Amino acid sequence: DKEYDFLIVGSGLYGCVFAHEATRRGKRCLIIDKRKHTGGNIRCEEVEGINVHQYGAHIFHTNDKGIWDYVNSFVEFNRYTNSPVANYKGEFYNLPFNMNTFYQLWKVKTPAEAMEKIKSQVEASKVGVPTNLHEQALSLVGTDIYEKLIKGYTEKQWGRPAEQLPAFIIKRLPMRFTFDNNYFDDKYQGVPIGGYNKLTERLLEGIEVRLETDYFADREKWDAMTDQIVFTGNIDQFYDYQFGRLEYRSLRFEHQVYDTPNHQGNAVINYTEREIPYTRTIEHKHFEFGNQPKTVVTAEYPEEWTPEKEAYYPINDARNTKIFQQYNELARQEKYTLFGGRLATYKYYDMHQVIASALHAVAVKFQEKPVCQQN
Ligand code: FDA
């Protein structure tokens, strides 16, 4: 008999949910993580009494009541509503694109006027079938919105001119013809009261965790200790990069403390011009309506990814998709290893999706009826 029923590699949201659910079903679980902390990319660090999102701004949103009730059973969520503001060359515009934005751009006052303006700009741009992101965006929203609010931001995000980016990156550009600055359409959204660490700590209650422990540093030892592995690390590394490396975009965060209670007046400001090297600045206290005397603001710089950097966004182009499919074929044949989460499935997941997929995996593993639909 092995020491553990499950070894879970990675204490991100996927690993936490899986370990919690397996433990609840009487299984012996051990979680290892190579980082110094649990929580993966949703980890917060307290600075000046403020929860600072270490790996990028995280706002929880979902349409799935089952998922919302699930997270709220561990920690209560506040009523934070994401309403980013765009700064383009010193002018401010509300996001997502809505009647406030259209008024700020053109002084139009009715939905009919706004629709007319957009329609005429789309027609004037004379794009046939879009062959790249530049044409795709123009054909969806016309010149002004594209030039001021999309082009520079997207080029910074992906590190190349819009004309050289594939059209599929932008499938839709939602526009709202009401004066509503709520970024997400989902029924439920918010941020955990007291921060995301509360959520992961409650999920991990009573579960053995070993930090600064890399699975690959002693793979045989870990394999010998357990019947089954739940792997949430990089799938290409699991298979010794035999089909090549999967590529990512990376990010660099610069945190700054200001000796003022309110620096930018909003949690998220997007910088949509190309010339400013960061894409957004995050004033963390506003996620929790904080009234601390100081404030922390983080600038987010997109970067080229190299293997020693943090892997943030998968690049789901033809080359990488093909490589991933080869790894995934091997993964599907594994009897004792389950692959989950964003790195092992080479997929961008929002938090509610990663939770849904972990709960789904639990249901399959324990042959139960799935509790939540995946969305
Ligand atoms: P995650 O990366 O969190 O966890 C994997 C863990 O495995 C890590 O802790 C890692 O150290 C560990 N690990 C890897 N290899 C290992 C090894 N060999 N040995 C031991 N441990 C190993 N979502 C949302 O709903 N709202 C939002 O606002 C945002 N915002 C956002 C901003 C940015 C910049 C990004 C990149 C992402 C978001 N997200 C988001 C998505 C969210 O971050 C994501 O859904 C979850 O963090 C994914 O959790 P995972 O457990 O899959 O991975």
Q: What is the pLDDT of residues 177-200, one digit of tens each?
A: 999 999 999 999 999 999 999 999
Please give the residue range of the domain that contains residue 280: 248-304
Which of 280, 283, 288, 327 is catalytic? The answer is 280
User: Atom 30 of ligand 1 has which residue's CA nearest to it?
Assistant: 58
Residue 280 catalytic? yes
- CATH, residue 200: 3.40.50.720
Q: What is the pLDDT of residue 353?
A: 98
Which of 1, 172, 259, 275 is catalytic? The answer is 172
pTM of the model: 0.95
Residue 33 catalytic? no
Q: What is the pLDDT of residue 267?
A: 98
In a domain, 322, yes or no: yes
Distance from C-alpha of 371 to C-alpha of 143, rounded to nearest angstrom: 45
> In a 10 Å sphere around its CB, with 0-12 CB exposed, 13-18 middle and 19+ buried, how is residue 132 labelled?
middle
Closest atom, ligand 1, to C-alpha of 41: 3
In a domain, 374, yes or no: no
Cα(12) to ligand 1 centroid in Å equals 6
Residues 66 and 198 grouped into a single domain: yes
Closest atom, ligand 1, to C-alpha of 10: 7
Residues 164 and 276 grouped into a single domain: no
Instruction: Write the DSSP symbol of residue 148.
Output: I
Residues 236 and 361 grouped into a single domain: yes
Distance from C-alpha of 106 to C-alpha of 318, rounded to nearest angstrom: 39
40-60 mean pLDDT: 98
pLDDT-derived band at 243, boundaries 50, 70, 90: very high
Give SS3 for 188.
strand
Residues 75 and 155 grouped into a single domain: no
Pocket test for ligand 1, best of 232, 287, 309 (most atoms within 8 A of CB): 232
Pocket test for ligand 1, best of 11, 58, 359 (most atoms within 8 A of CB): 58
Transcribe 206-229 into DSSP letters.
T-EEE-S--GGGSHHHHHHHEEEE
Cis peptide, bond prior to residue 96, ω within 30 of zero: yes
Residues 292 and 239 grouped into a single domain: no
What's the whole-number average pLDDT of the chain? Answer: 96
Residue 219 catalytic? no
Asked whether residue 41 carries a pLDDT value surpassing 80, the answer given is yes
pLDDT digits (tens, 9 = 90+) for 95-132: 999 999 999 999 999 999 999 999 999 999 888 889 99
Ligand 1 lined by 97 (C-beta under 6 Å): no
Asked whether residue 173 carries a pLDDT value surpassing 90, the answer given is no
Residues 355 and 230 grouped into a single domain: yes
pLDDT digits (tens, 9 = 90+) for 313-328: 999 889 999 999 999 9
Number of domains in the chain: 3
Ligand 1 lined by 41 (C-beta under 6 Å): yes
Distance from C-alpha of 67 to C-alpha of 359, rounded to nearest angstrom: 9
Residues 146 and 281 grouped into a single domain: no
Ligand 1 lined by 58 (C-beta under 6 Å): yes
Closest atom, ligand 1, to C-alpha of 214: 19
Closest CA to 155 of 271, 35, 3, 4: 271
> In a 10 Å sphere around its CB, with 0-12 CB exposed, 13-18 middle and 19+ buried, how is residue 327 labelled?
buried
Last residue of a domain, one of 169, 201, 225: 169
Which of 76, 91, 245, 348 is catalytic? The answer is 348
Asked whether residue 29 carries a pLDDT value surpassing 80, the answer given is yes
Ligand 1 lined by 56 (C-beta under 6 Å): yes
Residue 348 catalytic? yes
Residue 342 catalytic? no
